[in-house]
A = this chain, B = another copy of it.
């Protein structure tokens, strides 16, 4: 039986979805709890990894297990065992061919920035902006990223060279929410660091350090040396993974 689980986590205390040497990964924390519940080793497969300090409201993973327990029981048992910064928000029974990674159709990531520099509660959850940014310029620049492109310029140089770099972005919204600025990215999928590097580049435009057209020039360079901008993982949220 295949179970699809939706999980929310505060990534502050973790090395990311995958464990690192000497640092706790969210995946292994969940696997440990599941294995305790089923009294046998259980592996889970996520829609994709998230990096250190990155948060999730709607990460999805699946696992296979016998029918001993209902979805409700699994959710309750896991949330009892899991640390409070990892919460299962939904558990559903799925078709046998469901795969959290291969069945995913699209993903939404949000990136949060704030002007609230005197708030001691935000620094793990939003990137603090030292100076004001021009949102209209950022919106103009974001248009160049929409559609299907080879995003080599906007991804980590550590990425596997055999992996395809072509992705489609359906939606980029940049919203002013009180003292915050929220970037919303929706697309078929994102390469490692892609959302952070796109956000960082748009922020350079917003600070009027580069022209909007530079976003296009960087994209078209298709070179891992084209973009020198990145932002911290702390402001990044995996919001939702959509399946057909």
Contact B8 A86 (CB under 8 A): no
Contact B120 A87 (CB under 8 A): yes
Cβ < 8 Å to B, chain A residues 112-137: 117-121, 123, 125
Residue of B nearest to A121 (CB): B10
Kindly list chain B residues whose C-beta atoms are within 8 Å of the C-beta of A9: 120
Indicate whether A157 reaches chain B with its CB closer than 8 angstroms: no
Within the complex, the shortest CB–CB distance from A119 to chain B, in Å, comes to 7
Complex Cα spacing A84 to B12, Å: 14
Kindly list chain B residues whose C-beta atoms are within 8 Å of the C-beta of A120: 8-10, 84-87
Indicate whether A89 reaches chain B with its CB closer than 8 angstroms: yes
Interface size class of A (residues with CB under 8 A): 10 to 19
Within the complex, the shortest CB–CB distance from A22 to chain B, in Å, comes to 20
Kindly list chain B residues whose C-beta atoms are within 8 Å of the C-beta of A125: 121
Contact A123 B84 (CB under 8 A): yes
Cβ < 8 Å to B, chain A residues 1-51: 8-10
Q: Which of A55, A85, A120 has the most CB of B within 10 A?
A: A120
Within the complex, the shortest CB–CB distance from A77 to chain B, in Å, comes to 15
Task: Give 1 or 0 for each of A83-118: 1 = CB within 8 Å of chain B CB.
Answer: 011111100000000000000000000000000011
Residue of B nearest to A7 (CB): B120
Kindly list chain B residues whose C-beta atoms are within 8 Å of the C-beta of A79: 117-118
Within the complex, the shortest CB–CB distance from A26 to chain B, in Å, comes to 10
Kindly list chain B residues whose C-beta atoms are within 8 Å of the C-beta of A86: 120
Within the complex, the shortest CB–CB distance from A209 to chain B, in Å, comes to 23
Kindly list chain B residues whose C-beta atoms are within 8 Å of the C-beta of A118: 8, 79, 87-89
